[in-house]
Structure 1
Amino acid sequence: MSNFFKHKMRGKSPGEIVGMIIFGIIAVIGLAILFGFIIMWLWNWIMPELFGLTTLTYWQAIGLFILLKILLGGCGGFGGNNSSKNTKCKKEPKGEFSKWKHYDKFWKEEGNKAYEEYIERTTKDNESND
Protein backbone atom coordinates (compact mmCIF):
# COMPACT_ATOMS: atom_id res chain seq x y z
CA MET A 1 0.00 0.00 0.00
CA SER A 2 2.99 2.29 0.36
CA ASN A 3 3.33 2.48 -3.42
CA PHE A 4 -0.29 3.66 -3.62
CA PHE A 5 0.58 6.77 -1.63
CA LYS A 6 3.74 7.37 -3.63
CA HIS A 7 1.67 7.09 -6.80
CA LYS A 8 -0.98 9.51 -5.50
CA MET A 9 1.62 12.07 -4.41
CA ARG A 10 3.58 11.94 -7.68
CA GLY A 11 3.68 15.37 -9.28
CA LYS A 12 2.56 17.25 -6.17
CA SER A 13 4.76 20.00 -4.81
CA PRO A 14 5.90 19.93 -1.17
CA GLY A 15 3.67 22.97 -0.54
CA GLU A 16 0.60 21.05 -1.75
CA ILE A 17 1.45 18.06 0.42
CA VAL A 18 1.96 20.26 3.51
CA GLY A 19 -1.31 22.05 2.71
CA MET A 20 -3.19 18.74 2.51
CA ILE A 21 -1.70 17.62 5.83
CA ILE A 22 -2.62 20.89 7.55
CA PHE A 23 -6.14 20.76 6.09
CA GLY A 24 -6.49 17.16 7.32
CA ILE A 25 -5.38 18.07 10.85
CA ILE A 26 -7.78 21.04 10.99
CA ALA A 27 -10.62 18.86 9.66
CA VAL A 28 -9.99 16.13 12.27
CA ILE A 29 -9.85 18.68 15.11
CA GLY A 30 -13.02 20.35 13.85
CA LEU A 31 -14.87 17.03 13.66
CA ALA A 32 -13.69 16.05 17.16
CA ILE A 33 -14.99 19.34 18.58
CA LEU A 34 -18.29 18.94 16.72
CA PHE A 35 -18.61 15.34 17.90
CA GLY A 36 -18.13 16.40 21.54
CA PHE A 37 -20.89 19.00 21.22
CA ILE A 38 -23.23 16.46 19.62
CA ILE A 39 -22.67 14.00 22.51
CA MET A 40 -23.22 16.78 25.06
CA TRP A 41 -26.38 18.00 23.30
CA LEU A 42 -27.89 14.51 23.01
CA TRP A 43 -27.12 13.66 26.64
CA ASN A 44 -28.51 16.94 27.96
CA TRP A 45 -31.63 16.58 25.80
CA ILE A 46 -32.48 12.95 26.65
CA MET A 47 -30.91 11.73 29.90
CA PRO A 48 -32.08 14.33 32.44
CA GLU A 49 -35.69 14.03 31.29
CA LEU A 50 -35.81 10.23 31.04
CA PHE A 51 -33.65 9.19 33.99
CA GLY A 52 -33.29 12.33 36.10
CA LEU A 53 -29.54 12.53 35.54
CA THR A 54 -27.58 15.78 35.62
CA THR A 55 -26.48 17.63 32.51
CA LEU A 56 -22.94 17.35 31.15
CA THR A 57 -20.37 19.95 30.22
CA TYR A 58 -18.43 19.64 26.98
CA TRP A 59 -15.39 18.09 28.66
CA GLN A 60 -17.53 15.64 30.62
CA ALA A 61 -19.12 14.52 27.35
CA ILE A 62 -15.68 13.99 25.79
CA GLY A 63 -14.53 12.10 28.90
CA LEU A 64 -17.64 9.93 28.83
CA PHE A 65 -17.03 9.08 25.18
CA ILE A 66 -13.39 8.15 25.83
CA LEU A 67 -14.36 6.05 28.87
CA LEU A 68 -16.99 4.15 26.90
CA LYS A 69 -14.59 3.64 24.01
CA ILE A 70 -12.03 2.15 26.39
CA LEU A 71 -14.55 -0.06 28.21
CA LEU A 72 -16.60 -1.23 25.25
CA GLY A 73 -13.97 -1.13 22.52
CA GLY A 74 -15.30 -1.65 19.06
CA CYS A 75 -14.06 -1.40 15.52
CA GLY A 76 -11.13 0.93 15.07
CA GLY A 77 -10.75 1.56 18.77
CA PHE A 78 -7.67 2.69 20.64
CA GLY A 79 -4.64 0.42 20.65
CA GLY A 80 -2.60 -1.49 18.13
CA ASN A 81 -3.68 -3.51 15.17
CA ASN A 82 -3.59 -6.97 16.73
CA SER A 83 -4.61 -9.79 14.40
CA SER A 84 -6.24 -11.82 17.21
CA LYS A 85 -8.21 -8.78 18.36
CA ASN A 86 -11.21 -7.22 16.59
CA THR A 87 -11.61 -10.11 14.16
CA LYS A 88 -15.35 -9.41 13.97
CA CYS A 89 -14.60 -5.95 12.57
CA LYS A 90 -12.49 -7.06 9.63
CA LYS A 91 -14.29 -6.31 6.38
CA GLU A 92 -13.31 -6.53 2.78
CA PRO A 93 -12.99 -3.17 1.06
CA LYS A 94 -16.01 -2.27 -1.01
CA GLY A 95 -16.31 -0.75 -4.43
CA GLU A 96 -13.46 0.27 -6.66
CA PHE A 97 -10.99 0.56 -3.78
CA SER A 98 -10.87 -3.25 -3.45
CA LYS A 99 -8.78 -3.36 -6.64
CA TRP A 100 -5.96 -1.53 -4.86
CA LYS A 101 -5.11 -4.57 -2.72
CA HIS A 102 -3.24 -5.92 -5.78
CA TYR A 103 -1.42 -2.65 -6.47
CA ASP A 104 1.81 -3.33 -4.53
CA LYS A 105 2.29 -6.75 -6.09
CA PHE A 106 1.58 -5.43 -9.60
CA TRP A 107 3.92 -2.50 -9.16
CA LYS A 108 6.75 -4.76 -8.01
CA GLU A 109 6.25 -7.22 -10.86
CA GLU A 110 5.20 -5.06 -13.81
CA GLY A 111 4.70 -1.47 -12.75
CA ASN A 112 8.01 0.20 -13.52
CA LYS A 113 8.37 -1.63 -16.81
CA ALA A 114 4.82 -0.77 -17.89
CA TYR A 115 5.28 2.84 -16.84
CA GLU A 116 8.52 3.20 -18.79
CA GLU A 117 6.84 1.67 -21.88
CA TYR A 118 3.96 4.13 -21.54
CA ILE A 119 6.35 7.10 -21.30
CA GLU A 120 8.21 5.82 -24.36
CA ARG A 121 4.96 5.51 -26.37
CA THR A 122 3.68 8.95 -25.39
CA THR A 123 7.02 10.60 -26.16
CA LYS A 124 7.07 8.97 -29.61
CA ASP A 125 3.45 10.02 -30.23
CA ASN A 126 4.19 13.59 -29.21
CA GLU A 127 7.30 13.72 -31.42
CA SER A 128 5.39 12.35 -34.44
CA ASN A 129 2.56 14.88 -33.93
CA ASP A 130 5.00 17.83 -33.88
Structure 2
Amino acid sequence: MEHKKDIEKRMEKGVEYYVTKAFKIFMMVVLFLILFLLAVYVLMRLWNWLMPDLFGIAAINYWQAFGIMVLAKLLFGFGGGSGKSKSGSSHKKDYKKSRRCGSLRRDFEEWKYYDQFWKEEGEEAYNAFIDKIKNDNHDTQ
Protein backbone atom coordinates (compact mmCIF):
# COMPACT_ATOMS: atom_id res chain seq x y z
CA MET A 1 0.00 0.00 0.00
CA GLU A 2 2.85 2.34 0.89
CA HIS A 3 4.46 1.61 -2.46
CA LYS A 4 1.33 2.77 -4.35
CA LYS A 5 1.28 6.06 -2.45
CA ASP A 6 4.92 6.70 -3.31
CA ILE A 7 4.21 6.06 -6.98
CA GLU A 8 1.18 8.36 -6.89
CA LYS A 9 3.19 11.15 -5.24
CA ARG A 10 5.95 10.83 -7.85
CA MET A 11 3.37 10.87 -10.64
CA GLU A 12 1.68 13.94 -9.16
CA LYS A 13 5.00 15.75 -8.87
CA GLY A 14 5.87 14.82 -12.46
CA VAL A 15 2.54 16.04 -13.77
CA GLU A 16 2.79 19.22 -11.70
CA TYR A 17 6.30 19.86 -13.06
CA TYR A 18 5.23 19.46 -16.69
CA VAL A 19 2.05 21.49 -16.27
CA THR A 20 4.05 24.29 -14.63
CA LYS A 21 6.64 24.12 -17.41
CA ALA A 22 3.96 24.19 -20.12
CA PHE A 23 2.24 27.15 -18.43
CA LYS A 24 5.52 29.07 -18.27
CA ILE A 25 6.24 28.39 -21.94
CA PHE A 26 2.71 29.44 -22.89
CA MET A 27 3.04 32.67 -20.91
CA MET A 28 6.42 33.41 -22.53
CA VAL A 29 4.87 32.99 -25.98
CA VAL A 30 1.97 35.28 -25.02
CA LEU A 31 4.39 37.86 -23.62
CA PHE A 32 6.50 37.69 -26.79
CA LEU A 33 3.42 38.21 -28.96
CA ILE A 34 2.25 41.16 -26.87
CA LEU A 35 5.68 42.80 -27.05
CA PHE A 36 5.91 42.17 -30.80
CA LEU A 37 2.46 43.67 -31.42
CA LEU A 38 3.36 46.65 -29.24
CA ALA A 39 6.57 47.14 -31.24
CA VAL A 40 4.50 47.08 -34.46
CA TYR A 41 2.24 49.79 -33.04
CA VAL A 42 5.25 51.91 -32.07
CA LEU A 43 6.70 51.42 -35.57
CA MET A 44 3.43 52.56 -37.12
CA ARG A 45 3.26 55.66 -34.91
CA LEU A 46 6.89 56.60 -35.63
CA TRP A 47 6.46 56.04 -39.36
CA ASN A 48 3.32 58.17 -39.50
CA TRP A 49 4.97 60.88 -37.42
CA LEU A 50 8.26 61.09 -39.34
CA MET A 51 8.04 59.73 -42.87
CA PRO A 52 5.24 61.86 -44.37
CA ASP A 53 6.87 65.10 -43.22
CA LEU A 54 10.48 64.18 -43.98
CA PHE A 55 10.18 62.24 -47.23
CA GLY A 56 6.63 62.79 -48.44
CA ILE A 57 5.79 59.10 -48.01
CA ALA A 58 2.18 58.15 -47.28
CA ALA A 59 1.02 57.19 -43.80
CA ILE A 60 0.57 53.48 -43.09
CA ASN A 61 -1.96 51.47 -41.12
CA TYR A 62 -1.30 48.85 -38.43
CA TRP A 63 -1.15 45.85 -40.78
CA GLN A 64 1.25 47.58 -43.13
CA ALA A 65 3.50 48.32 -40.14
CA PHE A 66 3.18 44.64 -39.18
CA GLY A 67 4.36 43.66 -42.66
CA ILE A 68 7.30 46.08 -42.48
CA MET A 69 8.29 44.66 -39.07
CA VAL A 70 8.14 41.05 -40.31
CA LEU A 71 10.10 41.97 -43.43
CA ALA A 72 12.74 43.76 -41.34
CA LYS A 73 13.05 40.74 -39.03
CA LEU A 74 13.47 38.42 -42.00
CA LEU A 75 16.05 40.65 -43.66
CA PHE A 76 18.05 41.74 -40.64
CA GLY A 77 17.68 38.80 -38.26
CA PHE A 78 16.00 38.21 -34.98
CA GLY A 79 18.44 39.93 -32.65
CA GLY A 80 20.59 37.09 -31.36
CA GLY A 81 23.82 38.59 -32.61
CA SER A 82 26.52 40.36 -30.71
CA GLY A 83 26.61 41.70 -27.21
CA LYS A 84 26.89 40.09 -23.84
CA SER A 85 25.78 36.49 -23.84
CA LYS A 86 22.55 35.50 -22.16
CA SER A 87 24.08 32.42 -20.58
CA GLY A 88 26.19 34.43 -18.16
CA SER A 89 29.43 36.28 -18.18
CA SER A 90 31.84 36.07 -21.05
CA HIS A 91 34.46 34.98 -18.52
CA LYS A 92 32.90 31.50 -18.49
CA LYS A 93 33.19 31.26 -22.26
CA ASP A 94 36.82 32.40 -22.18
CA TYR A 95 37.59 29.83 -19.51
CA LYS A 96 35.99 27.06 -21.57
CA LYS A 97 37.93 28.13 -24.66
CA SER A 98 41.21 28.17 -22.79
CA ARG A 99 40.54 24.72 -21.31
CA ARG A 100 39.72 23.32 -24.74
CA CYS A 101 43.24 23.71 -26.10
CA GLY A 102 45.30 23.67 -22.92
CA SER A 103 48.02 21.38 -24.29
CA LEU A 104 48.42 23.56 -27.38
CA ARG A 105 48.81 26.64 -25.23
CA ARG A 106 51.71 25.06 -23.35
CA ASP A 107 53.45 24.29 -26.64
CA PHE A 108 52.79 27.80 -27.90
CA GLU A 109 54.64 29.26 -24.91
CA GLU A 110 57.86 27.81 -26.30
CA TRP A 111 57.56 29.88 -29.48
CA LYS A 112 58.76 32.97 -27.64
CA TYR A 113 62.31 31.58 -28.09
CA TYR A 114 61.92 31.20 -31.86
CA ASP A 115 63.58 34.49 -32.81
CA GLN A 116 66.56 33.79 -30.58
CA PHE A 117 66.94 30.29 -32.05
CA TRP A 118 66.73 31.58 -35.60
CA LYS A 119 69.46 34.13 -34.95
CA GLU A 120 71.79 31.56 -33.39
CA GLU A 121 71.22 28.34 -35.34
CA GLY A 122 68.31 29.01 -37.66
CA GLU A 123 69.19 28.64 -41.28
CA GLU A 124 71.81 25.94 -40.80
CA ALA A 125 69.47 23.79 -38.69
CA TYR A 126 66.64 24.33 -41.14
CA ASN A 127 68.71 23.32 -44.14
CA ALA A 128 69.96 20.24 -42.28
CA PHE A 129 66.37 19.32 -41.50
CA ILE A 130 65.32 19.73 -45.15
CA ASP A 131 68.25 17.57 -46.30
CA LYS A 132 67.27 14.89 -43.78
CA ILE A 133 63.67 14.87 -45.01
CA LYS A 134 64.76 14.64 -48.65
CA ASN A 135 67.12 11.76 -47.86
CA ASP A 136 64.44 9.91 -45.88
CA ASN A 137 61.92 10.33 -48.72
CA HIS A 138 64.49 9.29 -51.32
CA ASP A 139 65.34 6.13 -49.36
CA THR A 140 61.70 5.02 -49.16
CA GLN A 141 61.04 5.39 -52.89
TM-score between the two structures when normalised by the length of structure 2: 0.45
Give the helix-richer structure, 1 or 2.
2
Higher RCO (CA < 8 A, seq sep 6+): 1
Of the two, which has the highest radius of gyration?
2
